[in-house]
Each structure stands twice: as structure tokens, then as C-alpha cells.
Amino acid sequence: MTRTAVAPDAALTTAADPARALAFYQDAPRSLAQFLCDVADVAALWPPRAPILNACADRYHFMVGLAAAAAAGRMTVLPATHAVEIIKSLHARMPDMHCLADGDFPVALPIVRFPRLAPAGRVHRAPPVPRIPLDRPVVTVFTSGTTGVPVGHVKTWGSLVASAHAEAARLGLDDGPAWSLVATVPPQHMYGLESSVMLSLHGRALAHHGRPFYPEDIAGALAAVPRPRLLVTSPVHLRALLTSAAAVPPLDAVLCATAPLPRALAEEAEQRLHAPLHEIYGATEAGQVATRRPTQSDLWTLFPGLVLEARDASFVVHGGHVETPAALGDIIEPSGPREFRLHGRGTDIVNVAGKRSSIAFLEQQLLAIPGVLDGAFYMPDEDLAGPVARLTAFVVAPGLTAAAIETALRARLDPVFLPRPLVLVDALPRLATGKLPLSAMHQLLASRTRQAGGGRG
């Protein structure tokens, strides 16, 4: 008689005391016992075998839905955007896909409505904490499309748990009192999934249920939770917070990711918020890879167990929580076995009149101009730019003229990198993470070209 090997597993959460708070929901702590009851209630709604697109805007609803799907063996599908064409394309590939939603959804999918949860209170009998095989695929996370067409990457329960434990240890959240966590990034993004949801399940952080966007809302969410407080955010949200008049309650740490963070912005954040700022580097393909404190060093330190290896013209990361070797799309300069410098994305480098620069550097110079609230450079394809491509810049700068911005850029950039055209806009079409998809930039320029009469310039 042969014995079938049983795959090792891990608990849904490392929390063990049923009375322990796991999150903040509707202005009250939500205990582990209540969470387990909520998970059981949502799991009872699942259709047989169907993958679940978790579109919940409420972070606690998302966490419950993710847990219910993982425990039941359902794949959670996480597109970076809910744009109609993206969702239609996913539905065509997964015709049995259902959507878990706590609000309106733009596409006619079969909908599972998130149920009304019982108010906070004593739970007399909670279900046991589920255990999930480490090798069970639980989520498919899609890239944001900043460099092209979004691509899906499957993550196992084991990789997510290992990543959470590594991050909690790196940030010092795995010991001492539980931290209150407020995140401005959506849980559907890899960064938001790892650094808010999984940190609540496996990192002693108590996530606030909301996803505050405006500075006043961020300050309000922070004020609603006790210290120590961790703000999980992006450079776009951080810049908006620092330029606002919002009174930010005392913070104990800030975590930032999704785009390059200028050192000047990091320094201002630490001075104004009186808290250390840590930055995470990662990619959807690999998840989080390294951290640094940008006010202290430009070197990134790999998470434990990860190995950075040069292959052909790029670098691959593997080991630790990265189960499948993943190629990184950035220009990397190793500095010893555990540290490295970043020099922008490989697709970020532009060559104009024989001179090279990076989009990230150009945007840092643009955003350093007083009065510029947001901005992005874009190198269009030939179908929009004609045979001689010129850099385009889209700028949000109320009160400034394009001529004034161009004058300021002349003092900072080689003339060949001055944008032609420089387009003033009310806002940039960023995703909730702060990222700008390549398709959105293309559409912005195409719209501007049509308004100008279809001429090329």
C-alpha cells in the first residue's frame, strides 16, 4: 500500500486568539472570530468551480473574499483596471468567471454581491482557522500595462505567506504591538495585496477597511486608528498629501512603492511626517524584491532568500518567496551579493539626437518645478509622432503656463529633451495605484492630435 504525499499547508492567518483584532471595519476593530464567520458566510455564496474576480472596493471586504476563495480552492482574478475591454477580454478567456462586488461594476458579469456583515460584537462560536496547501494557486495578478499589454501571473498561497513574513520582519512588524495600517493603494494591485491584505493576515498589521484617496480622507483614516500607525502609499498620493493643508496625525512609518521616488520627496516626507520612510521595489512577476530607506542610501537590499542573477542582457530574481524565476525589466547595478542600484526601466531609456536619458529622470526634473502638481513624459510611436519622434509631456500645473514650464525645464534639461509638445491637462488618467498605462498615454496624445486637426508635429 502506497501512501500519497500530502502537500504542506499554512493557516489562513497566523492570528490564533479568537478575540484578537485582525482589521478595522466601520470604525471598530474586527476580531479573528468575526473574520472567520464573515469568511464562512461569503464562501457559502460561491458558485461551483468558478474563478472569482474580486472587485471589492472596501479593503476588508476584499480580504474576506480573498480568504473565502483561497480556502475553497477558487482562483481570485485581479486585473489592474476594470476597464470594460479588459474585463470583456478576461471573461472571454474564463467564461465561468464570477465577480464579487460591493458596488457597481461596469461589465455584465455574473455578480456575487458582498453580503451585509453582522455588526461588531461577541461571537459565541467561530469556525476553525482554515489551512491552505502551500502549493495551491490562489490569485492571478495582472501587470498594470505601463509598458504594454497587461499579463497575468499566478501566485500560490505559499509564496504570498512567505512574502508577508519576510516583509513583516524587514519592517519590524512581527514583534511588539500590532500596527494600524492605512493604505491608499488598492488591494487588487500586487503591492496593495502584499503590503496591506497579507500583512494583516500574516504580519501583525491591522488594515483599515478604506482606501482613502484625497489628503483629507487619508488624514481622517489615520486619525480613526491607534498608534503605531503605518501609511502604505505611492509617490503620487504622497506628493498630494504633502502639498495639501491636511493635518496628518502622528505616523510611525511610511511605506512607498509603484513608481520611482525622488530623494527630495522622501526627505520632505520624513521631515513633515516625522516618520521613517521605506521604499519597496518589486514587480508583478516576482512580487516584492527589495527595500531601502531612500534618505539613508540609494542601495536596495534583497529580501531574505532571494538571489539576483545576470542572464543575457537582464537580471533574474529567484529563491525565497519567488517560486518561478522572474526577469526584471529594470537596469540594475549589483553592489555585492545582497544589494544593488536601480537605473530605471530598460524601456524607460530614450535616445534623442544621439543623446540618452531616462523617462524617470526627466519626470523628476519636471516635478521639481514649483507649481507642477503632476506630470509625465511620453515617447510616442511613429503612428502619432511621424518619422521624427519627439518627447511629449503632459503636465498638471494650475496657475502656470506652458511657456513658464518650458523655461524652467531649459534650466534643468539638455535642449534635445525638451518636450514638443508640452500639454497642460487638468489631471492624468492614472490607475488607483498611481501608475500610468501606456495605452492611456497613447490615447491622451491621440486625443490632442485630433483636437489639433489631425496634424503631426
Confidence band of 447 (pLDDT split at 50, 70, 90): confident
Which helix (H) or strand (E) segment is 359 a member of? helix 359-367
Residue 430 has a pLDDT of 85
Distance (Å, rounded) from C-alpha 327 to C-alpha 158? 20
Mind listing the pLDDT tens digit for each residue in 237-256?
999 999 999 999 999 999 99
Region 73-98: what's the mean pLDDT? 89
Average pLDDT of span 369-397: 77
Q: Please list, residue by residue across 126-136, b when 16 or more beta carbons sit within 10 angstroms of its beta carbon and e when fewer do.
A: beebbebbbeb
Question: What are the structural domain ranges in the chain?
Answer: 11-344, 353-451
The 10s digit of each residue's pLDDT in 143-185 is 765 555 678 899 999 999 999 999 999 999 988 899 999 999 9
Predicted pLDDT of residue 118 = 86
Question: Average pLDDT of 394-417?
Answer: 90
Residue 30's contacts (CB-CB under 8 Å, 6 or more residues apart) are: 21, 22, 23, 24, 38, 60, 120
Contact 22, 31 (CB under 8 A): yes
**Tens-digit pLDDT profile for residues 292-351:** 999 999 999 999 999 999 888 789 999 999 999 999 988 899 998 899 998 876 567 777
Domain 353-451: give its CATH architecture: 2-Layer Sandwich (3.30)
Q: Do domains 11-344 and 353-451 have the same CATH topology?
A: no
pLDDT value of position 405: 94
> Whole-structure pTM over 0.75, yes or no?
yes
- CATH homologous superfamily for the domain 11-344: ANL, N-terminal domain (3.40.50.12780)
- d(CA 216, CA 226) in angstroms, rounded, equals 18
